[in-house]
Amino acid sequence: MNKNIPSEERSVMVRVPGTSANIGPGFDAFGMAFNLYNTFTFQAKNDGKLTIRGVPRKYQGKSNLVYKAMQKVFKQVHYSPRGLYLYTKTDVPVSRGLGSSATCIVGGLVGANALCGSPLNEAELFDMAVAMEGHPDNIAPAFFGGLVCAIGENGHNDYIKKSVADCFAFHLIIPDFELPTKEARAALPDQIDRTDGVFNVAHATMTYLALTEGRPDVLKHSMADKLHQPYRKHLIRSYDAVCQAAKSYGALGVCISGAGPTLLAITPKSNLSAFSEHMRRFLARREPHWQLYDLDPDNNGTTVIFK
């Protein structure tokens, strides 16, 4: 099939990983992808209808974020299918700091582009995704996988993606409540102290290098942050107790995942099961409705499957 000729009734499935932004000191710059996915199935239809399934009824209309992202592509390429069927299989928890909205944006843009015969390239789609989300830190790993650092000015974004060293294990400690990013950002001061800025530049750089070069000895000290976590931790019930417990069970570092409320603990891989066992027991006592996911990094990012 000529990929430049859109075909009615063509089906596309797009799988996008959940992500954890910031990783402590890399505020608004770093993000990492995990083997936890949202999967979107798209079908261009001839029936003139919009049908959205797999999400609560309130997201089944034109305000659906995946649909909104698709419209950006259709507008850009001056093509739109007559009708559309969209099914979402959601494994990434919503409003927990795990990049669920980034999965919707990337899934919608990539899916719509594939339905249209892929007229837009990866860089164009990435810039569109960042413009929609406002920060590259979840979008970049959702798109490309791995550990990604991104910068952007005037609508153009650059990123560097690296695979995470194999010696680390990742544990998401997911609270039983949502924390809107807007509320978590409203807790931040408008201005920062220069010494705090300097502290974060050095700690962020060392965290990136420690994770990619396999240096648990460095990671143990580098994940400290002075730009956002001190101002947000009061929004997360049991924050201090959970961080303290995670450290006592062998975590090299613990941070707020994105804007929270999920916490990300990083341990040496050799300590994976002992940490999980202790942490599960601790959570059962202290926060019985919280969940613990033991995950691996995803180094592939978004994948498109034609059907």
Distance of alpha carbon 40 from alpha carbon 12, whole angstroms = 8
Q: What is the 3-state secondary structure (H, E, C) of 7-54?
A: CCCCEEEEEEEEEEECCCCCCCCEEEEEEEEEEEEEEEECCCCEEEEC
- 96 touches ligand HSE (CB under 6 A): no
Per CB under 6 A, which of residues 234..293 are in contact with ligand HSE? 258-259
Size of the site for ligand HSE (CB under 6 A): 12
Q: Annotated binding residue at 100?
A: yes
What the block records as the tokens of 81 is 């299918």
DSSP 59: G
Q: For the packed helices 100-115 and 122-133, what is the interaxial angle rounded to 10 degrees? A: 140
**Sole binder of ligand HSE in the list 20, 22, 100, 222 (CB under 6 A):** 22
By beta-carbon proximity to ligand HSE, the closer residue of 65 and 84 is: 65
185 is a site residue for ligand HSE (CB under 6 A): yes
Rule CB under 6 A: choose which of 33, 85, 110, 137 binds ligand HSE.
137
Only one of the segments 118-126, 181-189, 209-217, 267-275 lies at the binding site for ligand HSE (rule: CB under 6 A); that segment is 181-189
- CB atoms < 10 A from the CB of 62, how many? 9
**CB nearer to ligand HSE: pick between 41 and 229:** 229
Considering only 20-28, 44-52, 57-65, 243-251, which stretch makes contact with ligand HSE by CB under 6 A?
20-28
Closest CA to 162 of 48, 1, 281, 32: 32
Task: Name which of 14 and 139 has its Cβ closer to ligand HSE.
Answer: 139
User: What whole-number distance in Å separates Cα of residue 110 and Cα of residue 129?
Assistant: 10
**Interacting residue with ligand HSE among 41, 100, 181, 262 (CB under 6 A):** 181
238 is in an annotated binding site: no
Distances (CA, A) of 209 to 74, 114, 203, 214, 215: 39, 35, 10, 8, 8
For residue 253, say whether it is annotated as part of any ligand binding site: no
Residues whose CB falls within 8 Å of the CB of residue 146, separated by 6 or more in sequence, listed in order: 32, 33, 161, 162, 163, 164, 297, 298, 299, 301
Biggest CA-to-CA distance, the chain: 60
Applying CB under 6 A, the span of 105-113, 132-140, 205-213, 285-293 interacting with ligand HSE comes to 132-140
Q: Which of 228, 236, 264, 290 forms a contact with ligand HSE (CB under 6 A)?
A: 228
Which residues are near ligand HSE by CB under 6 A?
Answer: 21-22, 28, 135, 137-138, 181, 184-185, 228, 258-259
Residue set of the binding site for ATP: 93-103
